[in-house]
Structure 1
């Protein structure tokens, strides 16, 4: 589904943030991405989501080299990827329900076809009583859960999550991890960036360790 070959990344004229990164994300796979702060995990996720292009090397997503993908093709490819970044990116003028339903609306689906599904997912992540409030009213943990629900609602082929349990308590973190596991078993490849070793110990999954811009992979 995704392949990196000797990828390097730098910002401007600065030093390389990522160096000679090679990896592949297979269908239905589950992997953790870990490493110290500043190692480049968020940059790697942005490359996976195609909001950055590498300085060197090649990245292939769904069989397409991103260096040659047209601007018209890019949104269609991104719709096949669910993403949860640390800044949440919720729209403050929309309710929690509307934020979570947004990917389905963008695809032109009628609300009657997805209302029950959105409400069920919101209840599952503990936001059943908060679905009609606006994001500024939500706590950090609630915003995190809303962002996760929005990423999951369209059953993406790949889910990328940057510290998805960083703002929730341990019981909810375990519950969210079970949700990621269920999504994976239904066919979605999952990539979770996390510092939480306890979280990683709960699932027997591949570990990708990023340190000083270099990636080691342990199956």
Structure 2
């Protein structure tokens, strides 16, 4: 669904953050993206989410060259790619329910058309009893699950997660991992950026390791 060929990225006139990165994200695949802090994991996720353009190289997204996708068409492609940010990016003045339904509301959907989907999804991530809670009173793990539910509400074909277990204890990390595995079983391709080796050892999945701007792949 997404293919990188010899992709390079630099910010301004600085050195290349990513160099000659080549890989693909097949349908229904599951992969971990790892590497030391500052290796470029978040930058690579931003390229996957189409919020950055590469400095050089080819990125093909759902059969289209990245350079041929206009700014007006970008939202259509991003709806097919869900992302869970490391800092959650929840809106504190909205309830859990409202945060999850926001992407559909922004698209112009009526609440009546998506209310059932939001409630079902919140139950699926274990937050059925927290629908009316505001983000400031949620725990870190609950906020993480709200962010996951919001990323899933548009039924993306690919889910990107940036350090999704970085702020939770090991039991909750395992629970979140089970959610990602179940999501993958249902047909969504999953890319998890993490430095948690114990987490990666729990799943037989491809590992993409960034180091010094280059990517090594271990199937």
- The residue number in structure 1 matching 2:175 is 175
Unmatched tracts of structure 2, length 5 or more:
none
My pick for the range that moved more, 75-84 or 87-96, is 87-96
- Following TM superposition, by how much is the alpha carbon of 1:113 offset from its aligned partner in structure 2, in angstroms? 4.1
TM-score by length of 2: 0.94
CA distance in 2 between counterparts of 1:182 and 1:109 reads: 27
Structural RMSD (CA): 1.5
Structure 2 CA distance, aligned partners of 1:164 and 1:191? Answer: 11
Note the 1:71-110 alignment, pairs <5 A: 71-110=71-110
Q: Which residue of 1 aligns with 2:29?
A: 29
Q: CA deviation at 1:183?
A: 1.0
Aligned to 2:195: 195
Alignment of 1:10-25 (within 5 A): 10-25=10-25
Equivalent-residue separation in structure 1 for 2:210 and 2:115 (angstroms): 40
Higher mean displacement: 97-106 or 126-135: 126-135
Q: Measure the CA separation in 2 of the matches of 1:186 and 1:104.
A: 21
Gaps of 5+ in 1: none
The separation in 2 between residues aligned to 1:176 and 1:114, in whole angstroms, is 24
Q: Deviations over 1:99-128 (max 9, x none)?
A: 111223234444334334322332343433
Which deviates more, 158-167 or 138-147? 138-147
Does 1:161 pair with 2:161? yes
1:83 Cα shift? 0.2
Aligned length: 219
- Separation in 2, partners of 1:151, 1:91: 14
- Structure-1 separation of matches of 2:150 and 2:186: 17
The superposition leaves residues 148-172 of structure 1 with CA deviations (integer Å, 9 ceiling, x where unpaired) of: 1111222210000001111122222
Counterpart CA distance in 1 for 2:130 and 2:207 is 35
Matched residue, 2:58:
58
46-55 or 169-178, which deviates more: 169-178
| CA displacement at 1:190 relative to structure 2 | 0.4
Q: C-alpha displacement at 1:48, in angstroms? A: 0.2
Residue 208 of structure 1 corresponds to 208
- Could you list the per-position Cα deviations for residues 17-70 of structure 1 after superposition, in whole angstroms to 9, with x for gaps in the alignment? 000000100111100000111100000000000100001111111111111211
CA distance in 1 between counterparts of 2:131 and 2:64 reads: 38
Q: What is the CA deviation profile of residues 62-91 of structure 1, one whole-angstrom value per residue up to 9, with x for unaligned ones? A: 111111211111000000111001121112
1:184-207 Cα shifts (integer Å, max 9, x gaps): 111111000011111111111100
CA distance, structure 2, for counterparts of residue 86 and residue 134 of structure 1: 19
